[in-house]
Structure 1
């Protein structure tokens, strides 16, 4: 039997078990709907066809002023893609992902096809990671716990690198320099009023400059700040960065570390250029992350509202 014959047999097995595959894909989309997204825009749309899912940007949920090139929306969709991958793996399915399958249609971000049952039993780490999807959340509170240790940080860095991205840990003086640059950029940004109006429309409140880096010694003095970056700055790289964000966030949650993405520095060209300097030109910044811990006596905040699954998936 040739490899092509084996592949045909596997595909036939998948088609014969369509209800199970369909259920697994639907479960994966539901898990993907819990992914983090910048400003909680949830800019994804899934299409289910047979044994496959297609992931697209949802035009009605894009930030035209804040994110005109859709870099942050694409990154958010990458996080959803990783959540879907984790869900399928935890359900015992093997899948192939084709990213940016048609460059002529950049809004079509990924094609995910179920190849068949995984050849080995699902490991405990994958099961735990899928469970973590349901408890992961964005925690905007000031950090009240101790700084994260080297072991926890190494684990998060490893998770990022496994998804083809990198994490640069900022020194305190670099945090101050970047915060100052971002503050100046906001004051001189010609479209700042439009930007604030768009964010207020999406968040339902005046966002101010929320999401900026803190300047000076404030309540986040125990925080670790890091730049999530890649080696290029194209939609494929933004998608990978989102997958890396998801992997890092799930890993951090499992180790008791909170993650807060700070997108304000990415939303402006001048601060992205400043971050390239901090990276010594070796990469392109995709997001700034605040990593830290909350005291055990603090009550967890509510999770951000999510779109119902039937509003993010089309079936055919």
Structure 2
């Protein structure tokens, strides 16, 4: 079947915007290859974190988020995407092939999500409860729930269990020198096009007020959001029936949908992965859910102070590093 050729500049712009997708420690473990009328997504194995993500599952979730971001960016540019996942059984790094057709129109929802890609930040500080949660929660479930991916909301009892598991996980990892070295590298206090700026991390008092969150190397900034008090975010979990590569990729696509929809309605979000990186943490999430499904991603959602300055965007690799053209 013939493929519609999309202008090179449209592809570059869409990949640039889609590169705002979240990834573990902002590692950006993806590469795009434009080949004729097709755009191919590959996992970049050189960017998979060995200590935090030894199985490469978090990288697949990250690539799924990138895939969904790309689809939305192209939709906002007037192109409909058709995705073939894992098209080459002989190349496990080839995650998806996408081809495009002109769309008849661009929906307001797609425009809003495309704009949200540029506004979304990972906010690790404490939140107030999300506004209009009884309205938004069923909307998110309608957008996400499928035969594969389900969205769950953790109740108070489950949250206490996750908080205990979070503390237990961090206590164990303090003794893991490879993990600590990796964490130090990805939060290095110098300018890069990857990793997490120190300004985006929590101080000790701030971290103490967020019960389910990763412990990062501590920055010396003053305590922020004192009036917010302890974190009151809603905690969401995306789960799948199996723990396959396809399940992880689809969970990443659903993660993108949740983050962008929440951002579009003015809520703050933070993807929390330290619990899904370990067997003990995933077991704790499964127990909190009361299900045998596999947890793939955990998300905090809430309100940041309206007049607070937005966090600076985390750096991203140049488009020339993540997009290649085959002639």
TM over 0.5: yes
For 2:142, which of 146, 149, 158 is the aligned residue?
158
Give, in angstroms, the shift of residue 104 of structure 1: 3.2
| Residue aligned with 2:295, SS | strand
**Are the structure 2 counterparts of residues 190 and 252 from structure 1 closer, same or farther at C-alpha, using a change threshold of 3 Å?**
closer
Structure 2 residue 102 is the aligned partner of structure 1 residue 117: yes
Structure 2 residue 182 is the aligned partner of structure 1 residue 198: yes
- Matched with 1:92 is 78
Contact 1:212 1:265 in 2 (8 A): no
For 1:173, which of 154, 157, 164 is the aligned residue?
157
Task: Map 1:125-164 onto structure 2 (within 5 A).
Answer: 125-144=109-128, 149-161=133-145, 164=148
TM-score w.r.t. the length of structure 2 is 0.83
Q: Give the whole-Å Cα distance in 2 for the aligned partners of 1:99 and 1:212.
A: 36
Give, in angstroms, the shift of residue 165 of structure 1: 1.7
Q: Give the whole-Å Cα distance in 1 for the aligned partners of 2:99 and 2:213.
A: 43
For 2:317, which of 295, 307, 315 is the aligned residue?
307
Q: Quick check: which has more Rg, 1 or 2?
A: 1
| Residue aligned with 1:277, SS | helix
List alignment gaps of at least 5 residues for structure 2: 190-197, 215-227
- Matched with 2:249 is 239
**Are the structure 2 counterparts of residues 212 and 104 from structure 1 closer, same or farther at C-alpha, using a change threshold of 3 Å?**
farther
**Are the structure 2 counterparts of residues 70 and 183 from structure 1 closer, same or farther at C-alpha, using a change threshold of 3 Å?**
same
Contact 1:146 1:293 in 2 (8 A): yes
Deviations 1:42-99 (A, max 9, x none): 1111111111111111122110111011111110111110011111122222221111
Contact 1:212 1:262 in 2 (8 A): no
Task: Map 1:1-316 onto structure 2 (within 5 A).
Answer: 11=3, 14=4, 18=5, 20-114=6-100, 116-118=101-103, 120-144=104-128, 149-161=133-145, 164-188=148-172, 192-204=176-188, 213=212, 219-316=229-326
Give, in angstroms, the shift of residue 163 of structure 1: 9.3
Q: Give the whole-Å Cα distance in 2 for the aligned partners of 1:27 and 1:303.
A: 18
Contact 1:33 1:80 in 2 (8 A): yes
Give, in angstroms, the shift of residue 144 of structure 1: 4.3
List alignment gaps of at least 5 residues for structure 1: 1-6
Contact 1:148 1:293 in 2 (8 A): no
Q: Give the whole-Å Cα distance in 1 for the aligned partners of 2:234 and 2:299.
A: 8
Q: How many residues align?
A: 298
RMSD: 2.6
